[in-house]
Amino acid sequence: MRLRHRSLHWCPPSAADAARMPLTPSEPPTLSAVTELVMGLMEPDPDLARVSGVQSADEVSEIYAHAAKPLIGLLTALGGNRADAEEVAQDSFVRLLEHWTKVRDYDNPEAWLRTVAVRTMISRHRRREVARRALRSPRANDPPTPSTDSQVDLAEALSQLPITHRAVILLHYVDDLPVDEVARRLCIPVGTVKSRLSRARAALAPLLTDEETSST
């Protein structure tokens, strides 16, 4: 049985995100639903009991079979850490499982899954960053000096970027999302996406080989 959509909302607002490809579950607003997800504090979907848990698990496991690995890859590139990526990916699948009665009707449940996962990773990283900054001396707070070595490893270069910039550039260039879609998924203004892309491109520019550059 296909269940009817609820009207959900994700910031920034778009009713279509809810009706066509909603990116958020329907919990009451809280300080940080994403953070709650990580901590396991979200209330379960009340509709869950209306659909067999076994059936939900079977259907989600099918998605897991083909989506888990690439999701872990994306999250590893985003967060720079495989263990974190696996944990966040699993948390996101738990979330998907808990909300499957709604998400299964969306046009693109995997987009929902990846958005939840990316935001969760950003949230987790930000918390750690806050803690790390708090423990550092002011001198250590200085931004890292960008490498001038054109052969610098891409992973290293990515790690020099703020995670919010990494998310923008990965969603834009790997997930192939337009700027406004990235903005919608990350709940930030379009202009912010464009400026972050600009800075991220500039930071990664030394990595591009001679094949794709020409002298000015």
Taking the mean position of all CA atoms in its chain, how far away is CA 92?
Answer: 10
Q: Which of residues 121-160 bind other proteins (CB under 8 A)?
A: 122-123, 126-127, 129-131, 133-138, 141, 154-155, 158
**50 in contact with other proteins (CB under 8 A):** no
| Complex with other proteins: residue 3 or 202, whichever CB lies closer | 202
Cα distance between residue 60 and residue 55, in whole Å: 9
Report in angstroms how near the CB of residue 14 gets to other proteins at its nearest. 6
Task: For 54-123, give the DSSP string.
Answer: HHHHHHHHHHHHHHHHHHHHHHHHHHS-HHHHHHHHHHHHHHHHHTHHHHTTSS-HHHHHHHHHHHHHHH
Q: Pick the closest to residue 124 from 86, 94, 154 (CA basis).
A: 86
User: Is 117 within 8 Å of 89 (Cβ atoms)?
Assistant: yes
- If binding is defined by CB under 8 A, does position 11 make contact with other proteins? yes
Q: Pick from 129, 121, 148: which is nearest to 203 by CA?
A: 148
Q: Which residues, including other chains, have CB under 8 Å from residue 208's CB and lie 6 or more apart?
A: none
Q: What is the largest CA-CA distance in the chain?
A: 64
Q: Binding of other proteins at residue 17 (CB under 8 A)?
A: yes
Contacting other proteins within 161-190 (CB under 8 A): 169-170, 173-174, 176, 178-181, 187-190
Q: State the minimum distance, in angstroms, from the CB of residue 1 to other proteins.
A: 22
Q: Of 72-131, which residues contact other proteins (CB under 8 A)?
A: 72-74, 76-77, 82, 86, 89-91, 93-94, 97-98, 107-108, 119, 122-123, 126-127, 129-131
Among 13, 50, 55, 149, binds other proteins (CB under 8 A): 13
Task: Out of 5, 32, 59, 110, point to the residue binding other proteins (CB under 8 A).
Answer: 32
Sign of CA dihedral 174, 207, 167, 188: negative
The site that binds other proteins (CB under 8 A) totals a number of residues, namely 105
Closer to other proteins by CB, 38 or 103: give it: 38
Nearer to other proteins, 3 or 198 (CB): 198
